[in-house]
Structure 1
Amino acid sequence: MQPTPSPRDRVRDLLKRTAVALKQGEVPFALCGGYAAWVRGAPEPDHDADFLVPAAEAERAAKALVDAGLQVVDPAEDWLLKVERDDVFVDVLWRTCGRPAEIDLVERAEVLPVLSVQMPVMDPTDILVTKLMALDEHYCDFGRMLPVARALREQVDWAEVARQVATNDFAVVFLTLLERLGIVPAVSPA
């Protein structure tokens, strides 16, 4: 008898299946969020995986996933869908930080091996920008952000991050914390 796969193993499997389905459907996409950061050296997330598709490709992405035999769930939110299997899920997003995802986020992604599957992985600067712009008074967990920032620090254009997050006070405070801890040099918006 084979051992039951752990939740992390099931997320990894679904991440690969989702990427392959999007590739086969010729849908432009990028791995984003915690697993994109993990591929680039951050700690592995302990929950779901996330993919980004341009907003204009959302319907085509859903069709490609269904055509691949994956279970697609349409949640109440109007900016993502969920792929579910074996009590784990993968999110496919077409909006980040309240804005429609544009093709440029996907075009800046770099194709990298992820768990033996070649797939586009979001640019490190974009990873940090999207994570920081998600900070608000309801979700402001700097403890989860610190290991990601430390792991990606040499891969990120910090002046560009500062420029893009300048309107989010929580993100600006986090950048100040990174500077004070000596994780990144002092940055000002470009």
Structure 2
Amino acid sequence: MPNSVSAELLVTMKRAATVLKEHQVPFALAGGFAVYARGGSGSEHDVDFLIRREDADKALKLLAAAGFSTERPPEDWLVKVYDQHRLVDLIFEPVGLPVTDATLADTTLMRVEAIEMPVLSATTLMSYKLLSFTEQYCDYTRALPLARSLREQIDWERVRADTKPSPYARSFLFLLEQLDVLPHRRHGEQE
């Protein structure tokens, strides 16, 4: 992998993924570690897995039995587990959209640090990043490295369609055109 991430978080990612795989809990590696797995900039903060809401209780019980401590935070879109101080988010409603079988199918089976696991598509990673932008949070400095490092893996037309309601996403896509990360759209070309 070209970009470094915390060795401790890699161990935590592998431990959690192994538990979920062994017990056939459907999941997908997401967030910064999915970007890392696809060759982009890594994550030093936490590990993110997408799971379905109906699998959250089972995942918490299994991970607790494997030695993780668990937390049900006030946010109603995820649960958390800790491997000592290292955080794993189990997200079942990223950016207000429920994780479905279709979401979990939008993955590639990849070997990540010697463990084979489903990794969320670069297209969905980019769409989720853009859909996370709001008036309170609009940090293009986190989205730009993702767009640049994974641009060949991203279906940009799908990203445009998935994020069309967001003025922040449209602005970011325009910025990518101005920076020559994306080809410029001609006047009158469909959005």
Structure 1 position 189, deviation (Å): 6.4
Match of 2:55 among 45, 54, 57: 57
Match of 1:183 among 169, 181, 184: 181
Match of 1:97 in 2: 95
Instruction: Summarize deviations over 1:70-117 as a string: whole Å, max 9, x none.
Output: 222211211111111232211010001112111111112111111111
Instruction: Summarize deviations over 1:150-171 as a string: whole Å, max 9, x none.
Output: 0110111100000000011111
8 Å CA contact 1:31, 1:52 repeated in 2? yes
Match of 1:84 in 2: 82
Structure 1: how far apart are the matches of 2:54 and 2:72?
17
Any stretches of 5+ residues in structure 2 without a counterpart? none
Match of 1:115 in 2: 113
What is the one-letter code of the residue matched to 2:114?
Answer: S
Structure 1 position 44, deviation (Å): 1.1
Percent identity at matched positions? Answer: 37
Instruction: Summarize deviations over 1:36-86 as a string: whole Å, max 9, x none.
Output: 011111111221110001223222222222232322221121111111123
Match of 1:44 among 19, 42, 45: 42
What is the one-letter code of the residue matched to 1:120?
Answer: P
Deviates more, 1:73-82 or 1:176-185: 73-82
TM-score using structure 1 length: 0.91
- 2:70 matched to 1:75? no
Structure 2: how far apart are the matches of 1:189 and 1:156?
19
8 Å CA contact 1:52, 1:92 repeated in 2? yes
8 Å CA contact 1:109, 1:121 repeated in 2? yes
8 Å CA contact 1:162, 1:189 repeated in 2? no
Structure 1 position 186, deviation (Å): 3.6
Any stretches of 5+ residues in structure 1 without a counterpart? 1-6
Structure 2: how far apart are the matches of 1:8 and 1:189?
42
Structure 1: how far apart are the matches of 2:65 and 2:89?
17
8 Å CA contact 2:68, 2:84 repeated in 1? no
Q: What's the RMSD between the two structures over aligned residues?
A: 1.7
What is the one-letter code of the residue matched to 1:184?
Answer: L
Structure 1: how far apart are the matches of 2:84 and 2:53?
28
What is the one-letter code of the residue matched to 2:107?
Answer: A
8 Å CA contact 2:78, 2:92 repeated in 1? yes
Structure 2: how far apart are the matches of 1:85 and 1:97?
25
Match of 2:135 in 1: 137
4+ residue runs over 6 A deviation: none
8 Å CA contact 1:160, 1:189 repeated in 2? no
**Number of equivalences:** 184
SS of 1:152 mapped into structure 2: helix
